[in-house]
Amino acid sequence: MAETLKVARLFLVLLVVVTTGRWLMGTFGVPYEQGHHVFSIVILTTYACLFYGAFSRRWLDYRLVQAAVLGVVMGLTAQVVIFALTVLSYTLGLHTYFNHPTALNSPEALPFGRALVVRFSGLVGNSIGAGVVAALGWALGGLLPKR
């Protein structure tokens, strides 16, 4: 696990930057429809898993399972951040991008308990999805030149 986190350091730094930007945009009142795509944690995670999967195969000699585990760890980390900031948004009574109805796949505001169910399903599903994307990246990693 320590090796996985060491490899994922750049992703973790980018996750902090993107999360901070997303939080600030929401708390400073930028309308969700105008700003949600500027700092997207899910898009960051998807691209990171794809690239990390490819590069880890070619340059770190990772096997498919190792690349998939790396993707799951990155996806799980991102989803835990999203889950935690959703809880924080509700707890502090703030309207942020983390508790916006569209972000929770709902046409209207959700109560706290329902929002946690939605976020928990994302925590499980998106973490698995990140592993699949990393495995896809690993498959594409064969196209990269050798060291």
Integer-rounded Cα radius of gyration of the chain: 16
Residue 3, pLDDT > 90, answer no
Q: Indicate if the pLDDT at residue 68 is higher than 90.
A: yes
pTM: predicted TM-score of the whole model, two decimal places: 0.92
For the chain, which residues make up each domain, given as ranges? 2-143
What percentage of the chain's residues is helix, strand, coil (to nearest 5)? 75, 0, 25
31 Cβ contact list (under 8 Å, min separation 6): none
- Is the pLDDT assigned to residue 5 strictly greater than 90? no
- Mean pLDDT score across all residues of the chain: 94
Question: How much of the chain exceeds pLDDT 70, in percent?
Answer: 100
**Could you tell me the CA-to-CA distances from 77 to 3, 22, 106, 122, 140 in Å, in that order?**
15, 16, 24, 12, 24
Structure tokens at 95: 């309207």
3-state secondary structure of 101: coil
pLDDT at 100: 94
pLDDT digits (tens, 9 = 90+) for 22-59: 999 999 989 999 988 899 999 999 999 999 999 999 98
Mean pLDDT of 91-110: 93
Q: What is the distance between the alpha carbons of residues 106 and 30, in angstroms, rounded to a whole number?
A: 19
